[in-house]
A and B are shown apart, each in its own frame.
Chain A
């Protein structure tokens, strides 16, 4: 009996590019109470329908939350940071009314943003409370047995990862159990920030993990996002101020698609590739990234108003990877 539903119809390819100027009506931010169904002769609104329950996971809070761990000092004077991370099977809402059976670190996707300074001793206690074997594989220098590849932690098992934070930069952590694709796209990943010994200049800092979800498991993403919830920053724009320095820790964890990208409207930004140097590598407004690539971006907004940011693959943008900066005058 032929199945009626179609698991492989989300074709890639170019769809009509949303006009930057002309599409204002189509891209208007609908407020939560705005159930305004456009009249039949209007062209409608390109976004999701309904609201996500943000009590479980709020991307606006995740954006600016950094987990520095339990801090203490080792006898030699070295700083020790400790975290406890548990793998949990957890259903998450990735678009209004769309529930994804995720595998998570600490019940959230992405996992907590772990932050430390170069040279710190890091101790991560990992407990596997999930239904499948998992690991944590950190990017950065560390001994082979701390690599989270061969020591596969079975459900109910535990492991302690311990190594020094090195080098400074923007890194990531993710599960390295096989099948890799499934373990990553189900949600086992997060940002891992190692600050340089001399702190970077003061800035408004935010983490953006570009991700996607293959809800029908056909090897193709149905929903795209930054920080999991489709169109979240489209509905809840990120408030920033004119001339405020903004630093974005941008990571690409998107599975199945070869590349991802970020484009910021009306402004340019400095790119610090992998964040491992303190000098800017590039000055641009569009950045292309492979899976696992991550860069630190810095920009200052010149003009007040609403500025869009999104993947410059129109398809990803229209399937959820799109948001707004709401730039306000410094006085307001």
Chain B
């Protein structure tokens, strides 16, 4: 009992302090006459139809912000909002509708003028009607996802019979190659996560969210695989299948990120780029299938299991294109991508452990080193094809 009181004492005192602070104020030191810091983010711009621009605005600053006027291309334009109140409280969102004759294929810029005179702008790089959630677009996006994510992963899985016949040294080579691929993917996904974190309103602390996502995922997966290992040995077929499953999961998260990139570039009208993007991702992703089957090359998994692994790794691309194409909140993107990094790091850890434990081939052998470097090289080379 006494122990609990000791533990709660600082919290109780903190509550008293906060109460005093709110009731009596911090001796007026924060009551200066200058306007409050305002921070608005135009998260998303949708062009649902001709003569209509919709802005999704979020207040990431410490104070409520009142939107007074809206300009499009340096002209005041009448607008209406949902909800009707133009004041956005902290972390709240507002939809702004502007009836404006936007021009297909051209660039526009919208700017919000707040009651204190600050401006928050965002460009519409290429104006084109935003896709609506209907079967045509769902199918288009699904197809993009299948081309970029599902087909290459399954093609990669077809290396399975090839890997089966490998000697121990060459299998080590391919396992190292997989580690190389994954290290590249981890860095790439991490970079994307940080980039997306920039677009997240300040209050949501994008970069911290990336760190939490990565560390949280990594530790959770390590714990789960530890539980698993308790029941079945890592060196057993069951243990190796578990590793393959984790690889597929990590790659799946990574491919979700790629799907987001494809979907959003399609949505903002950069589909000419999108085509090249799809081809690039297809080549880039074929090696991912190889990575999945490398740990289980000496086992005999059923076709069903292989299909399952391929689906876990490939299908998220489709989901990504949907999310990217229809609604794009940087916050979710950051979360998905950082979970992906955590998952990939865990797999790298497991595979490295597997390589260390392979008694016949030392970790620092030429096979392992060249495999690892080649893995990085392949990813870098095929990455050149992705120019988005």
Contacts and interface: CB of A to CB of B under 8 A. Distances in A.
A37 B80 contact: yes
Interface of A: prevailing SS = loop
Looking at B52, B76, B101, the one whose CB has the most chain A CB atoms below 10 A away is B76
Interface stretch (B62-70, B217-225, B249-257, B320-328): B62-70
A242 interface: no
Interface stretch (A46-54, A142-150, A294-302): A46-54
A284 interface: no
Bin the interface of chain A by size: 35 or more
Contacts of A38: 78, 99
Contacts of B71: 10, 319
A100 interface: yes
A44 B117 contact: no
Nearest to A43: B101
Given A6-B119, A96-B69, A44 B76 contact: no
A258 interface: no
Given A5-B120, A9-B111, A97-B115, A45 B78 contact: yes
Contact of A318 (B74, B97, B121): B74
Contacts of B100: 43-44
B73 A15 contact: yes
A199 interface: no
A5 B119 contact: yes
A320 interface: yes
Contact of B51 (A42, A101, A319): A42
A13 B74 CA distance: 9
Contacts of B51: 40-44
A12 B74 CA distance: 8
B99 A216 contact: no
A79 B39 CA distance: 56
Contact of A97 (B66, B99, B120): B66
B110 to A, nearest CB: 10
A49 B72 CA distance: 13
A230 B113 contact: no
A200 interface: no
B158 to A, nearest CB: 46
A3 B61 CA distance: 11
B76 A230 contact: yes
A254 interface: no
A263 to B, nearest CB: 17
Contacts of A101: 35
Contacts of A6: 111, 119-121
Contacts of B338: none
A204 interface: no
Given A44-B99, A98-B68, A216-B118, A5 B78 contact: no
B132 to A, nearest CB: 13
Interface string B41-83: 1000000111110000000100000101111011111111000
Contacts of A5: 38-40, 118-120
Contact of B201 (A4, A50, A223): A4
A96 B68 contact: yes
B76 A47 contact: yes
Nearest to A131: B33
Contacts of A213: 117
B198 A99 contact: no
B334 interface: no
A4 to B, nearest CB: 5
Interface string B214-241: 0000000000000000000000000000
B112 to A, nearest CB: 9
Interface in A198-228: 213, 215-216, 222-223
Contacts of A9: 109, 111, 119, 121
Contacts of A231: 76
A222 B117 contact: yes
Given A41-B51, A96-B69, A98-B68, A319 B119 contact: no
B116 interface: yes
A41 B49 contact: yes
B73 A49 contact: no
A31 interface: no
A1 interface: yes
B117 A98 contact: yes
Contacts of B66: 97
A215 B76 contact: no
Given A41-B50, A44-B51, A98-B69, A216 B119 contact: yes
Contacts of B293: none
A125 interface: no
B90 interface: no
B280 interface: no
Contact of B78 (A1, A39, A49, A97): A49
A320 B109 CA distance: 18
Interface in A1-28: 1-7, 9-13, 15-16
B298 interface: no
Interface in A32-77: 37-50
A90 B40 CA distance: 26
Contacts of A319: 71, 74-76
Interface in B154-189: none
B50 to A, nearest CB: 7
Looking at B39, B86, B114, the one whose CB has the most chain A CB atoms below 10 A away is B114
B10 to A, nearest CB: 30
A100 B117 contact: yes
Contacts of A47: 76-78
Interface string A272-306: 00000000000000000000000000000000000
20 contacts: A4-B120, A4-B202, A5-B38, A6-B111, A9-B111, A10-B111, A13-B74, A38-B78, A40-B99, A43-B51, A46-B76, A48-B78, A49-B76, A95-B69, A98-B68, A99-B115, A213-B117, A215-B117, A216-B118, A318-B75
Interface of A: 1-7, 9-13, 15-16, 30, 37-50, 95-101, 213, 215-216, 222-223, 230-231, 315, 318-320
Interface of B: 35, 38-41, 48-52, 60, 66, 68-71, 73-80, 86, 97-101, 109, 111, 113-121, 198, 201-202
Given A40-B52, A215-B117, 19 more contacts: A4-B39, A5-B39, A9-B109, A9-B121, A10-B74, A10-B119, A37-B78, A37-B80, A40-B49, A41-B50, A43-B100, A45-B77, A46-B77, A48-B76, A49-B69, A96-B68, A97-B115, A215-B118, A318-B76
